[in-house]
Amino acid sequence: MKQKEILLFGATGQIGRNLIRKLTKNNYKITAVTRNIHRAGYILKTQANPGYLRLVELKTFNPEKIDELMQNCSICINLIGILYEKKKNFFKIIHSDLPDLLSKKANDFKIEKFIHLSALGIETAKESSYALSKLQGEDKIKKNFKNYIILRPSIVYSVDDNFTTQFMSLINKLPIIPLYYNGGTKFSPIHVIDLVNIIHKMIDSRYKQLTLECVGPEELSFKEILQNLLLSIDKKRILLPLPYQIAKLSAKILQLFPKPLLTEDQLKLLKYDNCISGKYKNNFDIGLESLREFKNEIDKYSYNWRTGGQFANKNNVN
């Protein structure tokens, strides 16, 4: 059987890198699109055996270039996403206009399937521009192309993430960690390997017109997540609930940094639980169980942030 050719957008991210490893090991050929082939080359070249991975540089979403790529693929996977707006990177362009263009092209070239990564909880958090743009992107895909699969993950974590690793670095530096909304917002963190297994299964499945919520085995509040991280790196910190107005002010300041830890828009998102809605199928419903537990998994890489570890604060006491 001829192996499927996969066209992958957003290949250099946490999910993309893990997906390339999984798919190329299973003999899929991947064309990975990036804005900077030299930077991406260093990250991606070790993810696959020779012959299974081709890197293509695309600085802008040029429709003619996308035509060329789309006509040679059977599956297109879109992992491009941003957490905050900077310079010309607007939510609308990335989360709505790009999926619109890709799904139209998927339809024009009659490819087998378009798999798109959206996010959990976007229907309830509509006051957030991030959530609204993700929702608009989903609507465009559904209108343009019938063989779509939309995956909506909760927080995705691993040693490669921007979430647990950033928080463990922060815990190392700060004596007090702020809690937004009293730390009560709930999440169902899913390990990147479990999510990548779901994407892999979706490629050959007969599912189409599917919106699937992707969650891990637990529901943890933001406070419980922090407590697990503290326990795992063996540190004690004050978890301080911040009144909303102060949280908003801190987000206003933090969002000015080049890689902000928190923006006003993220603060709006944080207000809503990030767990299964019951409105859509989730991975457990269709037999794709994600059994990796948060604490067990972070224990495997958190040693880097414990006292004496590579990323621990050298001047820090417990």
Ligand X SMILES: NC(=O)c1ccc[n+]([C@@H]2O[C@H](COP(=O)([O-])OP(=O)(O)OC[C@H]3O[C@@H](n4cnc5c(N)ncnc54)[C@H](OP(=O)(O)O)[C@@H]3O)[C@@H](O)[C@H]2O)c1
Q: Which residues here bind ligand X, judged by CB under 6 A?
A: 10-16, 34-35, 40, 79-82, 89, 94, 117, 119, 153, 155-156
Q: State how beta strands 186-187 and 220-221 pair.
A: antiparallel
Closest distance to ligand X from the beta carbon of 162 (Å): 7
Closest distance to ligand X from the beta carbon of 15 (Å): 4
Closest distance to ligand X from the beta carbon of 58 (Å): 8
Our CB check for ligand X shows the closer of 117 and 177 to be 117
**Do the Cβ atoms of 111 and 31 come closer than 8 Å?**
no
Our CB check for ligand X shows the closer of 156 and 225 to be 156
Our CB check for ligand X shows the closer of 81 and 216 to be 81
**Do the Cβ atoms of 79 and 113 come closer than 8 Å?**
no
Closest distance to ligand X from the beta carbon of 137 (Å): 9
Our CB check for ligand X shows the closer of 34 and 129 to be 34
For 75, other C-beta atoms within 10 Å of its C-beta total 23
- Full 3-state SS string of 103-170: HHHHHHCCCCEEEEECCCCCCCCCCCHHHHHHHHHHHHHHHHCCCEEEEEECCEECCCCCCHHHHHHH
Closest distance to ligand X from the beta carbon of 61 (Å): 7
> Of 143, 119, 139, 117, which Cα lies nearest the Cα of 131?
119
Q: Three-state DSSP class for 86?
A: strand
Our CB check for ligand X shows the closer of 11 and 125 to be 11
Closest distance to ligand X from the beta carbon of 300 (Å): 18
Our CB check for ligand X shows the closer of 201 and 248 to be 201
Our CB check for ligand X shows the closer of 12 and 103 to be 12
CA–centroid distance for 10 within its chain: 10
DSSP string for 30-55: EEEEES-HHHHHHHHGGGS-TTSEEE
Residue 285 tokens, joined:
């419903």
Say which residue the tokens 């004050």 belong to: 238
Closest distance to ligand X from the beta carbon of 77 (Å): 10
Q: Compute the Cα dihedral for 270, 16, 42, 165 and give only its sign.
A: positive
In this structure, what are the phi and psi dihedrals at residue 140, rounded to the nearest 5 degrees? -65, -45
Our CB check for ligand X shows the closer of 11 and 226 to be 11
**Do the Cβ atoms of 214 and 198 come closer than 8 Å?**
yes
Closest distance to ligand X from the beta carbon of 38 (Å): 11
